[in-house]
Amino acid sequence: MTTRYFGKPIKRNEDPRLLTGQALFVDDVHLPDMLHVAFVRSDLAHARIRRIDTAAARERPGVVAVYTAEDLGDYWRPGPLLVPPPPVKDIVFHQRTQVPLAKDKVRHAGEAVAMVVAESRYIAEDAAEEIFVEYEPLPGVVDLEEALQPDAPRVHEDLESNLAAHVIQEKGSYATAREQADVVISRRFVYDRGTAAAMENRGIVAHWDFKSQHLTVWDTTQAPIPIRNGLAAMLGLSEHQVRVIAPFIGGGFGPKIMMFYPEEMLLPWVSMQLKRPVKWIEDREENFYATTQERGQIHQAEMALTQDGRILGVKDVFLHDTGAYDPYGLTVPINSQCTLLGCYDVPNYYSEFRVVFTNKPIVTPYRGAGRQHGVFVMERLLDLAARELGLDRAEIRRRNFIPPDKFPYNNQIIYQDFAPLVYDSGNYEPALDKALELIDYQRFIQEEQPRLRAEGRKVGLGIVTYVEGTGIGPYEGARVTVEASGKVSVATGIGTQGQGHFTSFAQLVAEQLGVDVGDIFLVTGDTDQFYWGAGTFASRGAVVAGNAIHAGAQAVRRKILKMASEELEVAEEDLELVDGTVRVKGVPDSAIKLGELAVKANPLRGAVKPDAEPGLEATAYFGPERGATASGVHAMILEIDPETMLVEIQKYVVVHDCGKVINPLILEGQIQGGVAQGIGNAFYEQLFFSENGTLLNASFMDYLLPTATDVPAIISDHLETPSPLNPLGVKGAGEAGAIPVGPLFAQAVEDALDIPGLEIREIPLSPNRLFELIRGERTEREADHG
């Protein structure tokens, strides 16, 4: 079959709608009689609630209802555990999930204490201000290391300590490897907190239609189907009484896969109580507290190597900050643990982590989802080892790559999907070579850098590699239908937050059915359109939903061929699907429009053959055996103003391998966006908490996202090592851009500054922090607050 759609840089189907304001977002939903919700949130990170006085708020004109935890009655319960702990031996896990409204005690600043429902958001906020909460402040648990001290205050007083989990995974024997090593590099690494800061904050509209006994919920979720199932269970409804719609969403990045947020539990319930539609749109300030965050870890790691730079083993012991609750289980630290190994053949590995409760907003996956930290530790260890051994930094990586003939490669530990961490395929050396060529490595280090250094300029290069576990199960499904118009509709259960699903998925169908991409209408994220599914996370949309759609389209293709072969009285092998028709190969006059065939397949009179299904439609599912492992190399050149410590990125190269590429244009956008977020994490974005746990920079004035002038144009190239785990041979690409930027930045900054003994072992950096590091004022960052 000739390929005409798969792999083509087709412009996005959804962009005209998005760019002309014809795309529905949650806040665009306006319903008659709709009420508006505002929350009273705790100013304190850790405090006992003595008393809540709602009398004044209830009396304010326009206020319809006020709720505290007490007012929720039996509906008050902690949220579900979204991901149970993986089957690792001797695992310790203490489940403490978020509650809809705080009762007795608040555990992080911004935790909701009361809810006001009013005729407008203005009135709701005025009333929220009138609710008086009497707190007894408690000492905050902020610092990760202090949190585990025996005398530390406890976030959950029913637990013996702030330990949320303890996991050890091992491959081989690190102790033996260490004994055999010529060199052991041992260091402490810190990776601090940030927030995803999606362009669209969260939002929910819930509408309980009392007469039809039906609940409709518009939600900025990445996982509408699990939300539907959970809501039905919580509210005592049939799943068929609940419709959850995740319309267009302005960025997900992981925090919108978290469930159930307190607001998600409360809004549908309130709509049922009041029999009126209710709306809550998170404002930007709330987003800094009420939406989950990521990234706080402290690692003590070491690498044992031979004299010629071969890794004998790695040991990593780290603390992971889960915030006040742990509803997402261990996904983030498991990702750190598993992604650390990277592209390298590491024969012995000891990894141990402790998850710590703190009085900070909840931590759940955010683009990269723990992978950053692992990559940071590994890549930094390799840089330090290269320095110690006098090896070139590209060369030490090359020497340790898993060779292409060793795939599938078993890392002998358990991944976030509970399956063994086995890399399906990979070919790392060509990617490194390509990146070295694109960054012009030899010329830079041999000519350019010495010349510029002689002029007193501080220019440096970084080059790092990484893997990304993507496309994990359990499954997704899709229904593909040829309509009477000849256009094709496709429904799948996952949500979409800007990834270009309306185009890339359409290409998969176009490829099979020979229909123009523009004639394929895709529905995602509406539980009434497709019943089954899990959600958009872990860079799995293209892999899992994509392959389900591919399978569905293939099934429809088979139906078309079978029917047309009967109509035209020719063998199926002699037919082709072209331009929305099916025809005898090379005989355009024989063409039947797919729409005509669809009508024939669904006749109003006459008989459909026994056992035949009506219509040109098929539903298919796909569940991979395990995740597909993508990989890549990033390289950059930056210059530092040695007086101000401002950094300018001069060149940025990405060589990426995510298997077969469905749409290079969309992939380019994913990478560019990921790198922008990575640059933000590395040099601009940092959440600052006071010693009591309150957030000091909950606005875009002080939480600095990189802007267009801070993010360079990216030079990229793609290699295609297909995944054997799915028919399309694709791997995920959603997080790749963001993952390796921290160690890349650190390496390039070290290289630029060229100060003997200066090591960058923390992220994020800033001009101020570089100034401090150079002065040697604080070589060790205090655990959590820089």
Partner 1 sequence: MKPAPFQYFAPTTLDQALDLLERYNYDAKPLAGGQSLVPAMNFRLARPGVLVDLNRVPDLAFVRPGSDGGLRIGAMTRQRQVERDPLVAERAPLIHETMPHIAHPQIRNRGTFGGSLAHADPAAELPAVLTALQGRFRLESKRGQRWLGADEFFVDFFTTALEPDELLVEIAVPPLPARTGWSFQEVARRHGDFAMAGLATLVTLDEQGRVQEARLVYLSVGDGPVTARQAAQVLQGQEPTEEAIQEAAEVAARQDVDPVSDIHASADYRRHLVKVLARRTLRVAVQRAKENGQG
Is residue 704 close enough to count as binding partner 1 by CB under 8 A? yes
Q: Which of 213, 410, 644, 779 binds partner 1 (CB under 8 A)?
A: 644
β 297-305/587-593 pair status: unpaired
The answer to whether 147 and 356 are in contact (CB under 8 A) is yes
How deeply is 165 buried, as exposed, middle or buried, from its count of CB atoms within 10 A (0-12, 13-18, 19+)? Answer: buried
Q: Is 699 in the site for partner 1 (CB under 8 A)?
A: yes
Site string for partner 1, 213-252 (x = CB under 8 A): ----------------------------------------
Residues 313-342 that bind partner 1 (CB under 8 A): none
659, β-bridge pairs: 730
> Pairing state of beta strands 92-93 and 163-171?
antiparallel
Give CA–CA dist 177/165, Å, rounded.
Answer: 27
Cross-strand pairs, 401: 344
| Residues 106 and 46 sit within 8 Å (Cβ to Cβ) | yes
CB closer to partner 1 out of 50 and 284: 284
Fill in the per-residue mask, 277 to 296: x = in contact with partner 1 (CB under 8 A), - = not in contact: ------xxx-----------
Tell me how many residues contact partner 1 (CB under 8 A).
Answer: 31
Please write down the HEC assignment for all residues of 717-760.
EEECCCCCCCCCCECCCCCCCCCCHHHHHHHHHHHHHCCCCCCC
Q: By C-beta, is 158 or 643 nearer to partner 1?
A: 643
If binding is defined by CB under 8 A, does position 22 make contact with partner 1? no
The region of 146-154, 332-340, 461-469, 642-650 touching partner 1 under the rule CB under 8 A is 642-650
Residues between 709 and 768 that touch partner 1 (CB under 8 A): 709-710, 766-768
The span from the CA of 529 to the CA of 523, in Å, is: 7
Q: Give the CA dihedral 352, 357, 360, 365, nearest 10 degrees.
A: 50
Minimum CB–partner distance for residue 404 and partner 1 (Å): 42
CB of 619 to partner 1, least distance (A): 44
In the complex, minimum distance from the CB of residue 686 to partner 1, in angstroms, rounded to a whole number: 8
Q: Does the N-terminal peptide bond of residue 80 adopt cis geometry, omega within 30 degrees of 0?
A: no
| DSSP H or E stretch at residue 412 | strand 409-414
Q: Which stretch binds partner 1 (CB under 8 A): 363-371, 414-422, 477-485, 680-688?
A: 680-688
Q: Which stretch binds partner 1 (CB under 8 A): 233-241, 368-376, 422-430, 693-701?
A: 693-701
Q: How far apart are the first and last CA of the chain?
A: 58
Single out the residue of 74, 701, 713, 757 in contact with partner 1 (rule: CB under 8 A): 701
The answer to whether the peptide bond before residue 474 is cis (omega within 30 degrees of 0) is yes
Cα–Cα nearest to 64, from 105, 36, 100:
36
**643 lies in the binding site for partner 1 (CB under 8 A):** yes
From candidates 771, 776, 779, 782, binder to partner 1 by CB under 8 A: 771
The residue among 649 and 667 lying less far from partner 1, judged by its C-beta, is 649
Contact pick of 484, 602, 697, 753 for partner 1 (by CB under 8 A):
697
The Cα–Cα gap between 691 and 182 comes to 42
Among candidate residues 166, 185, 188, 181, the one with its CA nearest the CA of residue 347: 181
Give residues 105-144 in contact with partner 1 (rule: CB under 8 A): 121-122, 125-126, 129
Question: What track of x and - describes contact with partner 1 for positions 378 through 407 (by CB under 8 A)?
Answer: ------------------------------
- The neighbouring-strand residues paired with 311 are 305
Pick the stretch among 111-119, 511-519, 643-651, 736-744 that binds partner 1 (CB under 8 A).
Answer: 643-651
Q: Residue for token digits 């007012």?
A: 71
- Footprint of partner 1 (CB under 8 A): 121-122, 125-126, 129, 283-285, 643-644, 646, 684, 686, 688, 696-697, 699, 701-702, 704, 706-707, 709-710, 766-768, 771-772, 775, 777
